Amino acid sequence: MANKILIVAKREYLERVRSRAFVIMTLLVPALMAGVILVPTYMATRGGVSASFRHIRILDATGAGLGDRVSTVLAADTTSKDTTSGPFVVAVAPGQLAAAESAAVRDVMKPKSLTGYLVLDDSTLAGKRARYAGRNASSVTEMEKLESAVKQSVMMVRLEHEGVNKQTIDELAKSKLELSSERLTEKGRGGSGPSGLFAGVIIGLMLLMAIIVHGQNVMRGVLEEKTSRVAEVVISSIKPESLLAGKVLGVGGVGLTQIVAWIGIGGYLVTFFMPLLTKNAGAGGAMSAGAAPTAMAFAGISPGVLGISIAYFLLGFVFYATLFAAAGSMVNSEQEAQQAVMPVMLLLMSGWIFVSPVLINPNSTLAVVLSWLPWSSPIIMPIRMGLAAVSPLSVIGSLAVGFVGSCAAVWLAARIYRVGMLMYGKKPSFAELAKWIRYA
């Protein structure tokens, strides 16, 4: 029996690994992942504050030079060599502010003119409010940077009015604090905090993608064999349970190969291109500091976490692939298969839905419970391990529960598969499925 299972697994593995779709996905996914990491880093090292802030008008009605301070902060946070652009500061009297604002509105509405205008008045100097209107007002990131620049400038101006030395104020304005974080556990130093976050999310996402893609491949393969009547010939020489086991092992090997390739290729692309993108940003600059957690995303994936994640992938894949195969054996068309597999997909996505609470508090009761459930632990536990210290007993216990759950899923799916592969006609009801399971 073991020999026949290996023959089926080998056939499934080689057939899928040699396909064009496998090669494309294996190369495309890490390229996209590297792009998601590298492109924001490249944009950060190129510009700091968006170049659009070089083309705004600052209407300063404070009479305290606040506009000049904001302009200096915005201009200092960009690597642009263009010295002829702004931000442009216009000092106006409070009574002329309305007219100046109307003129700025007309200029912004002209093509290839101002990007926007910022209004600073006495309420701004009091630390209460400032107003901005422009083409980029819907950009959350740019508005946060503008708000930060105004807050910093208000603080600097008020310190200067309180008699603080101007040189000290200028030094404070130019200082850029770099905060490095390192996780410390009972075992000692555990690497960078942000890198652990990236590592956990990356591994969790890759496991989810692999289970969905290759689990559905199992379902489609089972459905094709059933509708083409090939299964009737194959089952005459091999038991249905052995055929199911061979399929799951073969396609699982494909998924495991793809995950290792994703991590290897993605890690190489990031480590190769990241120094090229950040070499002009300065070793201690703000842009390099901001890019550091991203650059360490793959470095945060330790061999131990990777090995345990692979174990969770194998258990999770066996759990879901057998259920996908059972769903494919129950139906007679692709449309029916999509309906039949919906409960399995909902079960799979139920773990990913709670990723946000787990990221916020990886040691919460919800996170601990989800990391023990066999249908959610393959996604949640690797994420928790990247964020917090998880005891070895918890990992072993979770793997044991996952193993028991996978065995139960195999037992259930094998009974449905044994009967469903030879049943044609309408899709079975829940009562009929219960009979299949009971009498198979």
Q: What pLDDT does 292 receive?
A: 46
Q: What pLDDT does 401 receive?
A: 93
Q: What pLDDT does 179 receive?
A: 56
Q: What pLDDT does 290 receive?
A: 43
Q: What pLDDT does 286 receive?
A: 42
pLDDT digits (tens, 9 = 90+) for 407-439: 888 888 888 877 777 677 667 767 777 777 776
Best CA proximity match to 386, nearest among 246, 177, 206, 173? 206
pLDDT digits (tens, 9 = 90+) for 168-207: 777 776 666 665 555 555 555 544 445 556 666 777 777 7
* Regions in the chain scoring below 50 on pLDDT: 47-49, 190-193, 281-295
Q: What pLDDT does 182 receive?
A: 56
Which residues are CB-neighbours of 149 under 8 A, at least 6 positions away? 49, 70, 73, 74, 77
Q: What pLDDT does 287 receive?
A: 43
pTM exceeds 0.75 for this model: no
Q: What pLDDT does 399 receive?
A: 92
Specify the 3-state DSSP secondary structure of 281: coil
- DSSP-assigned letters across all residues of 289-346: HHHHHHHTTTTT--HHHHHHHHHHHHHHHHHHHHHHHHHHHH-SSHHHHHHHTHHHHH
Q: What pLDDT does 282 receive?
A: 45
Supply 59's token pair: 């209407």
Let me know: does 307 contact 395? Beta carbons within 8 Å: no
Longest CA span, the chain: 94
